[in-house]
Homo-oligomer: A and B are copies of this chain.
């Protein structure tokens, strides 16, 4: 049934080694990613923040999205209001463009006579939140800077689970368009987004969008429910016919979900030693690998989650 040769073929992706000087192979492999995770202390993990987590329900399952209020406070607040008001309930995925984005919102949003009204407390437009002052990602924010060069920005790293780029010359820091990052669609005006129309990156990181549109969060779980949808065949991946769309049953802020129904998920802290070890395990390869890249980038590693067990209470 299962093709062992194929499994071996790429099994090396998960076999790893610990840190070594840049561009040099470590003397010998020490720990695999699985071993690093298995050895991680409970203090390296955090619970979901109910005020900053969305639970999206599709017929195919649940998608969990973490908001990034540190980078997009106005959008995060509006998205909370939209979720509390049940805005997305009954709306749909309207666009899937291969190697780019899956987008959801109101299919009738452009028709004033048919568009769904925004709930009380939600704004129709928000200021652009394309970047924040660099000092907002200082040590206090737990910025885990990568030593690896990045062609798109002079500095990159992770802040509280999010891939971040920064430029000391401009004094700006911003979220990066990596796989699984969620953003707020906008029109030509930079302040035309409100978080009601969201997209998620499903292909090669379109880093050229960085600093051009507001990123609001990232998918923690259920990404495959958005990435494997049929691509739309109209311009830009929109669906030709309404029946091609994937319906959204509902989207709730986790704080509004009864506690027993909340997903018991934990997220690895990117300011932890475990995360540093995992990055090194991807940077320095051995085993199946005959060449160790000695390099990593913010979009080539995503932050692990795990089920919270009884011994690891979710809150």
- One of B100, B103, B152 near A6 (C-beta < 8 A): B103
A266 proximal to B (CB < 8 A) = no
When distances are taken between beta carbons in the complex, the residues of chain B under 8 Å from A5 are 109-110, 185, 187, 192, 197
Q: Is the CB of B236 within 8 A of A199?
A: no
A195 at the interface (CB under 8 A from B): no
CB distance from A151 to the nearest CB of B (A): 5
A242 partner residues in chain B, CB cutoff 8 A:
1
Whether A2 and B110, one on each chain, are in contact in the complex, defined by CB atoms closer than 8 angstroms, is: yes
Q: How far is the CA of A9 from the CA of B191 in the complex (A)?
A: 11
A77 beta carbon closer than 8 Å to chain B: no
Report the Cα distance A109→B3, complex, angstroms: 6
Q: Which of B11, B295, B299 contacts A204 (CB 8 A)?
A: B299
**Which chain B residues border A130 with CB–CB below 8 Å?**
290-291
Interchain nearest-CB distance for A212 vs B (Å): 5
- Complex contact A224–B291 (CB within 8 A): no
**A262-288 interface (Cβ within 8 A of B):** 282, 285, 288
Could you say how many copies of this chain the assembly holds? 2
Contact residues in B for A235 (Cβ distance below 8 Å): 7
Q: Is A135 engaged at the interface, CB distance under 8 Å to the other chain?
A: no
In Å, the complex CA distance between A300 and B201 comes to 13
Q: Among the listed stretches A48-56, A225-233, A253-261, A305-313, which one makes contact with chain B, having 4 or more residues with CB under 8 Å of it?
A: A225-233
- Stretch touching chain B among A36-44, A68-76, A91-99, A137-145: A91-99
Interface SS of A by simple majority: loop
Q: Measured between alpha carbons, how far is A235 from B8 in the docked complex, in Å?
A: 12
User: In the assembled complex, how far is the CB of residue A97 from the closest CB belonging to chain B, in whole angstroms?
Assistant: 8
Whether a CB of chain B sits under 8 angstroms from the CB of A205 is yes
* CB-defined contacts of A185 to chain B, threshold 8 Å: 5-6, 9-10
How far apart sit A94 and B1, CA to CA, in the bound complex (Å)? 9
Interface residue? A127 (CB, 8 A)? no
Chain B residue nearest to A128 in the complex (CB): B290
Q: How far is A106 from B242 in the complex, measured between Cα atoms in Å?
A: 37
Residue ID in chain B nearest A131 by CB atoms:
B291
A98 touches B228 (CB 8 A): yes
Q: Within the assembled complex, what's the spacing in Å between the Cα atoms of A200 and B43?
A: 38
Chain A residues 183-213 with CB under 8 Å of chain B are 185-188, 190, 192-193, 197, 199, 203-213
B10-A285 in contact (CB<8A):
no
Q: Are B187 and A290 in contact (CB under 8 A)?
A: no
**Cβ contact within 8 Å between B3 and A208:** no
